[in-house]
Structure 1
Amino acid sequence: MATRQLIESPSRKLKSALSSEVQIYVGGVPFTLDRELLAAKSAKLAVLLKEHPREDLSHFLKDASTDPETFELVARFCHGYEINLSTENVIHVACLAHYLGMTDSHSTNNLLSKAVDFFEHQIIPSWSKSIRALKAAEKILQQAVDLGLVGACVESVITKALEHPQLLGEPMKNLTCNDDGEDSETAIRPNVRRKLFAIDWKSEDLTMLSLRLYEPIISAMIQRNVPAEYVSAAVCQYAKKWVLSGMKEGDDGPIYKTNIQREIIEAVERMLPNKRGLQPCSLLFDMLRSAIALDASTDCRNGFEVRIGKELDQATVKDLLIPSQGYSKEEQYDTECVRRILKNFYRNYTGRDGHKLVIVAELIDNFLIEIASDRDLKMGTFISIAELSIAVSEGIQKSSDGIYRAIDIYFDTHRYLTESEREEICNLLDCNKMSPEACEHAAQNERLPLRVVVQVLFVVQLQMRETMPKEVQGSDNRLLLLKDVEEEEAATRASNNEEEARAEIEKMGSKVLELERECLMMRREIQNGSCRKVKHGKGNMWKEMKRKFGCITSINDCNCHAKKKKVHPR
């Protein structure tokens, strides 16, 4: 770098008229300064100038980790100018002031005490400023650690996260896989108090820090029991920013970038809590793909596989389609990885019912259907995955339609299979668990071995034998039901007839009452001595009574007491 004479620059001209000057290079930039003013503030320079007055100090700061901007602030302070401390420069200034011995014991109101005072009152109380100060200190991390500034920032961040974990971000808890069965209404929700920190929280977050700062902070939070769901959210966000967002399929990238990403994904696996349900299953699969692509350690990949195994009932077929890595790539998808994940699920499954087993068995069936069209898929691999699916679904009600469909696709894609190989694959098929539609298709499937077709036809015949008695019994039940209906209708008709008879009786009763009233009136007339009236109206009275009782129907019947002439046959 070409040497620049900055003494003439207005921004860096510091009492150039003085005779006792010294030139110091910082980062290739020369600074011309006053010896006595520097010695008055710096104990280290004072001792050096006293012991070696004429020593060349141009490379005095070659061992100090500093930059021209920071040294200019220190030089301005030594020459009596006001300086502006900020979140980004205070740790740098404090470290350089400590290196130069700019303490109050050497000179009152010296730079180190001013920088530390600013740090304690302006940086430590703020979440965002603490993170920004840590970010700025990464270039001189060891000096900042030795001075205790990094530890103070880290403690500030952890304390605030313990009090308000929402500062780490929203939980990514998957509500559908809650082991305790809690309702979505009682699941984790953002704390209302987060609004108090909205401005500060949105400004900066921990993901801006490098791994050498981020991992110790998260590890300390875990040890001090910051809620796992918030730690998980922060770690997942870190993985998205530094690994997942920069990963492109088929893009190897620079070696140094690959190495950094490998270190990050391995650290992410170490930091992720092991509790089920804290991360979406699809995100865990993305991390596993990145770990495989970056050639991460075996422990790292195994860790992701175990976590996925606990969440496998939340996965999709697309999640399971992990591309094979390496130059050979004998098969399109990494089926061995899927087999390990499935074993982890089966090993860690503690459910009381078989609901999740059914879900995973159907998932593996669909995965098998998806990969069956891969021409490079080996028969042994196909059989091993199918056997795992069958093992998972053992003891639960599940049809074999998925296995049959996968076998059919595999036979169609791999037409070179021999009859014995087809027989071996078809041993996986339980024809008794196939639906009638699948049996009908299999009975006409020319790709199946003849033995399997015969077995399917036999199963169909058995199903028909079981179905026919049920249909006959159903017909008998319908006849009995019809008979019951007819009896109910007959009873209803009888009830109606009974009501009609009762109405008729009531009608006749009313007629009898009417006749009784008329008879009573007649007795009263007789008792009053109306004999003449009775004599003249005798025939009429009895005629009327007979008419009431329905004894006569015509006027010719009125003389019913007269004798009728006998007619003798001739």
Structure 2
Amino acid sequence: MLSIDCGLNMSRSFGIRIFVENCSSYPAHVQQNLESWKKNRNKFYELLHLERIIIVTKMKFMKLGNRPDTFITEEATRSVISDVPSDLTIQINNISYLLHKYPLLPKCGLLQQLTSDSEDSSNVTLNLHDIPGGEEAFELCAKYCYGMTINLSAHNFVSAFCAAKYLGMTEKVETGNFVMKLEVFLSSCILEGWKDSVVTLQNTRRIYEWSESLGIIQKCVESIVDKILTPPHKVSWSYTYTRPGYQKNRRESVPKDWWTEDISFLDVDLFRCIVMAIKSTNMLQPQLIGEALHVYACQWLPDITNTGLSEGSTSQVEDQDSSDRKQRILQNIVSLVPADKGSFSVKFLLRLVSISNFLGVSQVTKAELLRLSGSQLEDAALDDLLLPNRVTSDQTSYDIELVQTVLESFLRQWKRQTPTDESLSLRSINNVGKLIDSYLQVVSKDAHLSVKKMTSLAETLPGIARTDHDNLYKAINIYLKEHPDLSKMDKKHLCRILDCQKLSPEVRSHAVKNDQLPLRTVVQLLFFEQEKGLEQERGNTTTNIKDRSSDQTSVVRDDMNKLKLSTNNHHSSKGKGGRNYDDKFQLRPELSFKIRESAVQEMRKGRKIRDEGISEIQHSNLNPQEKAKEIRISGKNHSNKGRER
């Protein structure tokens, strides 16, 4: 281990040393920290009556005492090797400690009080079953009293501090006592480091009430939050960051979410304290808080639906405890999600919905997850929706019911909103419509997907969500190919969601020739084709009639001009020769309206003939493919006759 001796001579029989993990070189910020320590070391040593301090980088350790450890174990008894017989017995749980009064009583106020109340002054037995930290913490305090070497760090600081407080090892009993040294170590070393603060906070969960009452939790949370709010370019301490593609080196800048992995190992209540404190400052972007929640969920809520909760468990009690703990974690994560849209990815939200269904969380938590997922559904990609189905009673490959539930949540929110720009609202639901139709094309390949689930999801979308039905037709066509044994009723039920009028000419042409479609759908397609043809012919006829009417109007105008001219000549002749002409000029109506009526009658007659032909084909003994073929031939013949007319 690399160490830096600060050059103090030993002044007491036991002292203190501070160690940190080794590193290969010292960057500039470490050199500055060392200079700071050198300037303040005399005051620090004078306060603690220490012999020397050794500083190395990263995690910090404090070493107290210099005597060897002489504790021995005989069955369930711990004793100290000494020529002096034991006169103090401490009972903690199932272990008995055979100790001596002379090193313990001068430093422990509680033991002074308990022994003074004892009737037998020669050999006192005390029960300390409720000491925080148990026998390990008590043994640290006892070794300190004997002057034996003990190493303190963030891993055992909490238990040692709480036990020392319990035993009354304060300044009132002796100057420079154990509690005071631990407090200085906390404020000067642990809280100054990033990982030291996190590890210390994590160890408070074992004795949470004591840690909270003594202020350890609050001090650690404040230290951690203060470092999280530090600008990334000022971060000089070590941290854990294992994102894919990130290579940690001195030249690369510190990522904004550098702190998320280290705090993801904390207990959920402690993690909640930190996130709530961060949110109260309003100094971090919601995306960073969402990333911290994401990392924490990945740490504590892996894809449990893959293997179930029973894997690795030894009893049903452990399964239940694990399930309850995961429920509590999920509920806390959902309650901490920022209100800002986009703080979580849609894929992660959908995964949380899937986990919530598996764990059976409260309805409030599930409703909030569905609301968050639905509000961001329009931003989802197709891969985000392809969540595996883990329900054993359902053999489908994908969780279609989950997608349908999220879609319904989106539609409820979409109907309630009052957008300033209607085009944005329409674009939003159209994007969701395209996404769902693309999803249907993927899940329709599943051999276990029922017609009911397929149509239910497709019909959940309102008509305004689809500008055309081309993608829906593709999904239906894929489903019919993957399920060739469908009954006629199932085919009709599946194809009734298809609107032939919203198909493009290319797709409609393909559908007319599709032998997988039921006859009813083919007839509807043919009828619509004929209607389109008649509309085009009607449009051409109307154009011709308009042209004829314009020609006739010009002829009438010429006749009227001739009439006026002839009338003028008549009056002039009558004035000159006295003759009176009673000739009457009568204009006959043109045949344009008669032509139009004749064309309409012809079209109606042709449609009647076609319908009768289709009816005869449907009642014939031909199979559906032959019927469809005959109907197409009949439609083409009728169309040709219409053109000839």
- TM bin (shorter chain): 0.5 to 0.7
What SS does the aligned partner of 2:99 have? Answer: strand
Which protein is richer in helix relative to its size? Answer: 1
Displacement of 1:210:
1.2
Partner of 1:41: 107
Name the count of aligned residue pairs: 442
Query: Counterparts of 1:170-569 in structure 2 under 5 Å?
Result: 205-227=262-284, 228-244=286-302, 248-249=306-307, 252-253=310-311, 254=313, 255=319, 256-324=321-389, 326=391, 328-329=393-394, 333-349=398-414, 350=419, 352-353=423-424, 354-374=426-446, 376-391=448-463, 393=465, 398-412=467-481, 419=488, 422-461=491-530
Residues 15 and 33 in structure 1, CA contact (< 8 A), matched pair in contact too: no
Displacement of 1:326:
4.5
What SS does the aligned partner of 1:24 have? Answer: strand
Residues 365 and 389 in structure 1, CA contact (< 8 A), matched pair in contact too: no
TM-score (norm 1): 0.68
Partner of 2:214: 147
**Take 2:393 and 2:144, find their aligned partners in 1: how far apart are those partners?**
65
Question: Structure 1 residues 427 and 15, CA, compared in 2 at 3 Å: closer, same or farther?
Answer: closer
**Take 1:250 and 1:90, find their aligned partners in 2: how far apart are those partners?**
37
**Take 2:195 and 2:272, find their aligned partners in 1: how far apart are those partners?**
18
Partner of 1:567: none
Question: Which one has the largest radius of gyration?
Answer: 1
**Take 1:43 and 1:217, find their aligned partners in 2: how far apart are those partners?**
35
Partner of 2:205: 138
**Take 1:203 and 1:423, find their aligned partners in 2: how far apart are those partners?**
54
Partner of 2:600: none
Displacement of 1:204:
6.8
Of 97, 103, 106 in structure 1, the residue corresponding to residue 170 of structure 2 is 103
Residues 1:112 and 2:179 are matched in the alignment: yes
Residues 1:21 and 2:87 are matched in the alignment: yes
Question: Structure 1 residues 72 and 386, CA, compared in 2 at 3 Å: closer, same or farther?
Answer: same
What SS does the aligned partner of 1:6 have? Answer: strand
Question: Structure 1 residues 100 and 197, CA, compared in 2 at 3 Å: closer, same or farther?
Answer: farther
Question: Structure 1 residues 470 and 76, CA, compared in 2 at 3 Å: closer, same or farther?
Answer: farther
Question: Structure 1 residues 212 and 282, CA, compared in 2 at 3 Å: closer, same or farther?
Answer: same
Residues 331 and 376 in structure 1, CA contact (< 8 A), matched pair in contact too: yes
127-136 or 68-77, larger mean C-alpha shift:
68-77
**Take 2:257 and 2:507, find their aligned partners in 1: how far apart are those partners?**
61
**Take 1:196 and 1:441, find their aligned partners in 2: how far apart are those partners?**
57
Question: Structure 1 residues 283 and 468, CA, compared in 2 at 3 Å: closer, same or farther?
Answer: farther
Question: Structure 1 residues 251 and 131, CA, compared in 2 at 3 Å: closer, same or farther?
Answer: closer
State the one-letter code of the partner of 2:349. L
**Take 1:8 and 1:299, find their aligned partners in 2: how far apart are those partners?**
56
Displacement of 1:455:
2.5
Displacement of 1:5:
7.6
State the one-letter code of the partner of 1:431. C
**Take 2:126 and 2:514, find their aligned partners in 1: how far apart are those partners?**
87
Residues 131 and 204 in structure 1, CA contact (< 8 A), matched pair in contact too: no
State the one-letter code of the partner of 1:144. S
What SS does the aligned partner of 2:129 have? Answer: coil
What SS does the aligned partner of 2:339 have? Answer: coil
**Take 1:124 and 1:425, find their aligned partners in 2: how far apart are those partners?**
66
Q: Deviations over 1:76-107 (max 9, x none)?
A: 22124464432222222111111001111122
Partner of 2:31: none
State the one-letter code of the partner of 1:137. T
Residues 443 and 453 in structure 1, CA contact (< 8 A), matched pair in contact too: yes
**Take 1:234 and 1:87, find their aligned partners in 2: how far apart are those partners?**
23
State the one-letter code of the partner of 2:378. D
Residues 45 and 100 in structure 1, CA contact (< 8 A), matched pair in contact too: yes
**Take 1:65 and 1:314, find their aligned partners in 2: how far apart are those partners?**
51
Displacement of 1:374:
4.3
What SS does the aligned partner of 1:104 have? Answer: coil
Question: Structure 1 residues 97 and 443, CA, compared in 2 at 3 Å: closer, same or farther?
Answer: same
Question: Structure 2, unaligned stretches of length 5 or more?
Answer: 1-69, 244-249, 314-318, 541-645
Residues 6 and 31 in structure 1, CA contact (< 8 A), matched pair in contact too: no
Residues 244 and 287 in structure 1, CA contact (< 8 A), matched pair in contact too: no
Residues 401 and 438 in structure 1, CA contact (< 8 A), matched pair in contact too: yes
State the one-letter code of the partner of 1:147. L
**Take 2:280 and 2:260, find their aligned partners in 1: how far apart are those partners?**
26
216-225 or 86-95, larger mean C-alpha shift:
216-225
Question: Structure 1, unaligned stretches of length 5 or more?
Answer: 173-192, 472-570
400-409 or 194-203, larger mean C-alpha shift:
194-203
Displacement of 1:59:
5.6
State the one-letter code of the partner of 2:473. Y
Residues 103 and 113 in structure 1, CA contact (< 8 A), matched pair in contact too: yes
Displacement of 1:198:
8.0
Residues 309 and 323 in structure 2, CA contact (< 8 A), matched pair in contact too: no
What SS does the aligned partner of 2:207 have? Answer: helix
State the one-letter code of the partner of 2:168. G
State the one-letter code of the partner of 1:359. N
Q: Deviations over 1:417-466 (max 9, x none)?
A: 55455444433212122123321221122332323212223444565678
Residues 240 and 261 in structure 2, CA contact (< 8 A), matched pair in contact too: no
Q: Deviations over 1:202-237 (max 9, x none)?
A: 797111111122123222322333422221111110
Residues 369 and 405 in structure 1, CA contact (< 8 A), matched pair in contact too: yes
What SS does the aligned partner of 1:139 have? Answer: coil
345-354 or 365-374, larger mean C-alpha shift:
345-354
Residues 110 and 168 in structure 2, CA contact (< 8 A), matched pair in contact too: yes
**Take 1:329 and 1:469, find their aligned partners in 2: how far apart are those partners?**
54
Partner of 2:154: 87
State the one-letter code of the partner of 1:46. Q
Residues 264 and 299 in structure 2, CA contact (< 8 A), matched pair in contact too: yes
Residues 281 and 314 in structure 1, CA contact (< 8 A), matched pair in contact too: yes
Question: Structure 1 residues 17 and 467, CA, compared in 2 at 3 Å: closer, same or farther?
Answer: farther
TM-score (norm 2): 0.60
Question: Structure 1 residues 345 and 194, CA, compared in 2 at 3 Å: closer, same or farther?
Answer: farther
State the one-letter code of the partner of 1:156. S
Displacement of 1:49:
0.9
What SS does the aligned partner of 2:205 have? Answer: helix
Question: Structure 1 residues 322 and 399, CA, compared in 2 at 3 Å: closer, same or farther?
Answer: same
Displacement of 1:284:
1.9
Displacement of 1:150:
1.1
Residues 7 and 31 in structure 1, CA contact (< 8 A), matched pair in contact too: no
**Take 2:260 and 2:504, find their aligned partners in 1: how far apart are those partners?**
59
**Take 2:99 and 2:486, find their aligned partners in 1: how far apart are those partners?**
87
**Take 2:124 and 2:154, find their aligned partners in 1: how far apart are those partners?**
30
State the one-letter code of the partner of 1:356. S
Of 183, 195, 200 in structure 2, the residue corresponding to residue 128 of structure 1 is 195
